[in-house]
Amino acid sequence: MDHPPATAALPALRPPGLVVNVMKGDADEHRAGAWLEWNGQLDGLRAALIGVPFDGASVVRTGSRGGPDAVRLGLVNYTTFSSADGRGMEALRAADIGDVLITLTDMATSFDRVTETAAALVRRGIVPVSIGGDHSIAYPLIRGVTQGLRPGAKLGIIHFDAHHDLRAAHLGAESSGVPFRKALETLPDAVHGQNLVQIGMAEFTNSRQFHDYAADHGITVIPGRGLRHGALLAAVERALEIAGQGTDAIYVSVDIDCIDQAQAPGTAAPNPFGLDLRDVQEALRLIGAHPKAIGMDLVEISPSFDHDNMTGRAGASLILSFLYGLAARG
């Protein structure tokens, strides 16, 4: 099937780099790839996958521009059915609507397109689920979500990562480590430190300056050490309470390097102190089911450092977990 062209409402989109419809299975399987095929219509959609293949701000290893297609390839392995719950999510209208048009040498224009796309989706009541790309894309996505909300609305953020990403700059330039500081300082009416929760900060990957900046701005930081099994879900319940207090919506940003490198090796900064993928999967179900959850991004999957698309499949499972939570709302 040919992928529909960008609509007039979303002019910054192009067809996805990989259309995952090669393994649809029979009618009883409800394959995720077939479920996410798009008919070109935005009306009726509840969630939209968008690729953001930009890694021009990576400060260690590039390659995450290939992340969207690695996740799409991973979706081939999955269906829409939860064996644990005995129910599916195919009633949720979701689709992979393509990639934002990116110019790697033009960050400002690329980010404007990302913002434009996210804002247009949120205005229509569609939840953007974005696949990066490096973590710098979180800023234009958050900016777009805030623009899509009503004037004066406030946005809570839950951020899974091994790193704070609270840099002012990296050697004087914008980088993948700046998005949350940039959001706090350039979107002060919508994003406040007391509604930002950072989960999974790893040992020996941050600095006192970032720790102190977080404390000074009222950011809640929950280090990764000790977050195993039920402890992570308890932390997420606390995060939802903090992010939702006095806000109109909640956004979740997931850097794949929050997960232990044994389960997610394909990333710019592999993390030997990371969270367990099973726990993060459960956490995203919980967040997706929250009535204020309005968007998600998954970033920093670098296929060139992966083995047999392990990390791409892990990312696909996390995307489906968030969508499953969204479907559970009814």
Q: What span, in angstroms and rounded, lies between the C-alpha atoms of 308 and 291?
A: 36
Using CA atoms, how far residue 137 sits from 23, 54, 57, in Å, is: 30, 7, 9
CA 237 distance to own-chain centroid: 19
Per-residue pLDDT of 171-210, as tens digits, reads 666 777 789 999 999 999 999 999 999 999 998 888 889 9
Residue 1 pLDDT grade (very low, low, confident, very high; cuts 50, 70, 90): very low
Per-residue pLDDT of 61-87, as tens digits, reads 889 999 999 999 999 889 999 999 999
Q: Considering the domain boundaries, does residue 252 fall inside one? A: yes
Percentage of residues in the chain with pLDDT exceeding 90?
A: 78
Task: Check if the beta carbon of residue 98 is closer than 8 Å to that of residue 158.
Answer: no
Q: Considering the domain boundaries, does residue 2 fall inside one? A: no
Using CA atoms, how far residue 2 sits from 6, 21, 227, in Å, is: 12, 11, 44
The whole domain housing 248 covers 13-328
Per-residue pLDDT of 293-317, as tens digits, reads 999 999 999 999 999 999 999 999 9
Q: Considering the domain boundaries, does residue 194 fall inside one? A: yes
Q: Which of 52, 18, 20 is nearest to 34 (CA)?
A: 20
Task: Check if the beta carbon of residue 141 is closer than 8 Å to that of residue 252.
Answer: no
Task: Check if the beta carbon of residue 129 is closer than 8 Å to that of residue 48.
Answer: yes
Handedness of CA 223, 293, 51, 83 (dihedral sign): positive
Q: Is 150 helix (H, G, I), strand (E, B) or coil?
A: coil
Using CA atoms, how far residue 140 sits from 3, 11, 43, 100, 132, in Å, is: 25, 16, 24, 12, 12
Q: What span, in angstroms and rounded, lies between the C-alpha atoms of 277 and 289?
A: 19
Q: Considering the domain boundaries, does residue 292 fall inside one? A: yes
pTM here? Answer: 0.94
**Domain CATH for 263:** 3.40.800.10
Average pLDDT of span 220-236: 89
Residue 226 pLDDT grade (very low, low, confident, very high; cuts 50, 70, 90): confident
Q: Considering the domain boundaries, does residue 23 fall inside one? A: yes
Q: Considering the domain boundaries, does residue 303 fall inside one? A: yes
Count of other CB atoms within 10 angstroms of residue 73: 19
Q: Considering the domain boundaries, does residue 8 fall inside one? A: no
Q: How many domains does the chain have?
A: 1
For residue 253, list its beta bridge partners. 159, 297
Long-range contacts of residues 169-173, Cβ cutoff 8 Å, at least 24 apart: 170/59
Residue 325 pLDDT grade (very low, low, confident, very high; cuts 50, 70, 90): very high
Q: Considering the domain boundaries, does residue 165 fall inside one? A: yes
Which pLDDT value is given to residue 56? 87
